[in-house]
Amino acid sequence: AQKVTQAQTEISVVEKEDVTLDCVYETRDTTYYLFWYKQPPSGELVFLIRRNSFDEQNEISGRYSWNFQKSTSSFNFTITASQVVDSAVYFCALSENQAGTALIFGKGTTLSVSS
């Protein structure tokens, strides 16, 4: 069973639009960690955020914000006022406590922001 689902394969927006990238996860662990990574065209995965399962506070960092809801097993990522430089593939990932520390990645969402 897929443990991290990013249902949106591709999203296209115009600059200054807000966009939300969805992530739904599945785990039986009570302790786990969620991550978002960005992979720009250059190819290198860039760490964006980490959340542990006991911290459901939403987080905002500049134009980026994250909404973690355990009730729906979701960890969604919103970019406000998108810019062309936000064009990339975004990956959501899960690290389960019982399964060790390897990241389980979703398939990724390709975001294209046009000017």
Partner 1 sequence: GAGVSQSPSNKVTEKGKDVELRCDPISGHTALYWYRQSLGQGLEFLIYFQGNSAPDKSGLPSDRFSAERTGGSVSTLTIQRTQQEDSAVYLCASSLRGQGYEQYFGPGTRLTVT
Binding site for partner 1 (CB under 8 A): 33, 35, 37, 42-47, 50, 52, 91, 93, 95, 97, 100-108
User: Nearer Cβ to partner 1, position 13 or 103?
Assistant: 103
Nearest distance from C-beta of residue 88 to partner 1, angstroms: 14
Spatial separation of the C-alpha atoms in residues 107 and 60, rounded to whole Å: 24
Nearest distance from C-beta of residue 42 to partner 1, angstroms: 8
Q: Where is 36: in which H helix or E strand?
A: strand 32-39
What's the CA angle centered on 106, arms 91 and 109, to 5 degrees? 50
Selection from 80, 77, 82, 52 nearest residue 67 by Cα: 77
Nearest distance from C-beta of residue 53 to partner 1, angstroms: 10
User: Nearer Cβ to partner 1, position 79 or 92?
Assistant: 92
Output the CA–CA distances (angstroms, integers) from residue 46 to 2, 21, 39, in the order listed: 23, 16, 6
User: Nearer Cβ to partner 1, position 8 or 17?
Assistant: 8
